[in-house]
Amino acid sequence: MLKKIFAVCAVFSLAVVGAQAQVGIFDGNMDIDSGRLGAVGSASYDAASDTYTVNGSGHDIWDAADNFHFVYKQISGNFILTADVGISGGLATQDWIKSMLMARQDLTPGSVNVGTRVRRDGQYSLQWRTVANDTNSKGSTAAALRVVGLNGARQQLIRIGDTFYCLYQDPADGQWKEIEHHDVPMVDPIYVGLAVTAHDEGQIATGTFTNLELQELGIFENAVTLDSAHNAHVAVPGSITHANGVYTISGNGHDIWEAGDEGFFAYSELAGNNSISAKVKWIQAKGGTAGGNDWAKIGVMIRENGADPASAHYWIEMRCGAGDPALGDRTDAQWRPSTGAASQNKQIFKPGSTTDNVFQTDGLWLRTTRVGADQFMSEYSYDGSNWVVAHELTLPMQETVAYGIIITSHTDDQQMVIAEVSDVKIEPAGGASAWVTDHGDWVVEDGVMKMTASDTTDPKHAWIEQDFGADYTVQADVRIVDWTNAADMSRAGVGVRIQPGAEVQGLNLLFHQNEGRVQFLNDKRGWGPQEAIPWVIGAWYTLTMTIEGNTMSGSVAPVGGSGWAMADWAGGTTQTRDDGYPGLAGNSNVGEVWYDNFKVIVGGEVVFEDDFEDASTTPSWELMK
């Protein structure tokens, strides 16, 4: 499926005539008329039977202009529209009366549009117009793309990017089956809803749409109510709506815990290392007409199989906490190490702690990141900019996994919990979240990685847990901003074969002690060769370090200029330095160092780079190998 984030569109100038009142969840309803309508349509909603009834006349929805009755809602982004769709009335001899689940660019008769159509005889297929006012409307023509016997059956229209999918639930086996998909580019926002035409001017056809669900997915591609065979306590399906970048998500279910999960999950599937982040805030978690208990949860999750209630997963969540109403007072990292295994937990905040719980009233930003193939990390933030690493874990998962928002009420009845989710991003793992750090404060801001040291803890490192083999080159631009009390512990630069453990140690090329001195260091063995190189505090320099077998080599140069080569350190890798990760070496004294344009080079090709740009506007790294 096409994966795409949508842009906000320009405002259209519409010829809207006869717009009527809101119907159910839809904003309005109206006749679309190019001059061949013949009779006025109408629409109504009966809550007791959960049925929309749409009466429509008109020549057809076809050729260069459409004539029909439309019930609509304006939305942006991906969506899933599902209903039991039926059609009746009109002339008994007219098979081409239609009920449709439809998406339109605008409300003009010649608008770009796409929709699933079911006829009186139950024939079901997809039709579309990709160019406004084009006489060449298209529809499924091959017999294999027209399924019969589906008048009244459950049908579905899905938008993922520019692609629209036509599905039906097979009455024979209950399985969802795709008939066809087609690209129909539209610019957000668009109109989504229910369409009925009598295919005869002056006649009235009646369409019924029962048990309708509209999942406004925004950037997500799928939504599922997880109902575990282990517990089987989901009473009501969850839902998601999206407007102006804010999602409203509701769900219920026994819990996201034990060997199987119950709740509502909206997600997209991606390969590689990515992160999902969002600001979460409870709207209705306890009390009133909606229940939940202290353990209701909302959070961001990476899940091996999005639709499997027993799937392996890793996430960070916020609970509703005690009180009535409660807005959140506990945050945990949780995971299931393999399909069907028992869930595990690491408490981050807890009631009664000294943690600043300002997020109780204003929400909390959460982020879950796949840092490496089997490496995961959870973070939280009070402002969406300054992130705190809460937990890290090694957990095997397949290459393509689901990234999404999940909610559960932790109850066994029909009581729903509701949360507001905003500032949602699914993006390549980048910035500080792509890095694992040990000692010192590391933060990405102003387009650089900044490392601040307030003590003399040694060593201090940040590294990328990607396997690039044993031999590679690391390069980064480095600027010493504050070299307080320059002494032996004043050191900063780049590192290779960094090995996590009780003491994170590696091989390094460093600015050392005083201006004008650069030196190799094996953290486990000791200092290596040094060179007198005229660097100064406050200037940017490019440090390049290569590890090949047991030999280290390197160079230093002003950014964009020519520089100086280091003498090779043959045998400098001894003392268990035969593998490890590339990264940065921080200052072991008090001070501040900035880093930019980090690269890993293998065989003369850049296979990884991070320019530390703001991840909210540009993905900050790309794994190119």
pLDDT for 352 equals: 46
Q: Which helix (H) or strand (E) holds 549?
A: none
Residues 140-163 pLDDT 10s: 666 667 778 889 999 999 998 889
pTM over 0.85: no
pLDDT value at position 553?
A: 92
Confidence at residue 322, expressed as pLDDT on a 0 to 100 scale = 55
pLDDT at residue 619 is higher than 80: no
* H or E element at residue 256: strand 256-257
Pick from 547, 546, 537: nearest CA to 594 = 537
* Rounded CA separation 317/478 (Å): 37
Computed from CA positions of residues 353, 357, 360, 365, in that sequence, does the dihedral angle turn out positive or negative?
A: negative
* Positions of CATH 2.60.120.200 in the chain: 28-217, 219-429
State whether CATH 2.60.120.200 applies to domain 28-217.
Answer: yes
pLDDT at 350: 57
The pLDDT tens digits for 99-146 are 999 999 999 999 999 999 999 988 999 999 999 999 877 886 666 677
Q: Rounded to whole angstroms, how far apart are CA atoms 312 and 344?
A: 11
Residues of the chain with CATH 2.60.120.560: 433-623
Helix, strand, or coil here: 60? coil
Q: What is the pLDDT of residue 358?
A: 43
pLDDT confidence of residue 327: 52
**What confidence category does residue 323 fall into, taking pLDDT thresholds of 50, 70 and 90?**
very low
Distance CA 563, CA 430 (A): 30
pLDDT over threshold 90, residue 374: no
- What pLDDT score does 283 carry? 85
pLDDT greater than 50 at residue 13: no
Architecture of domain 433-623: Sandwich (2.60)
**What per-residue confidence (pLDDT) applies to 229?**
59
Which CATH architecture describes the domain 219-429? Sandwich (2.60)
User: First-to-last CA distance in the chain?
Assistant: 23
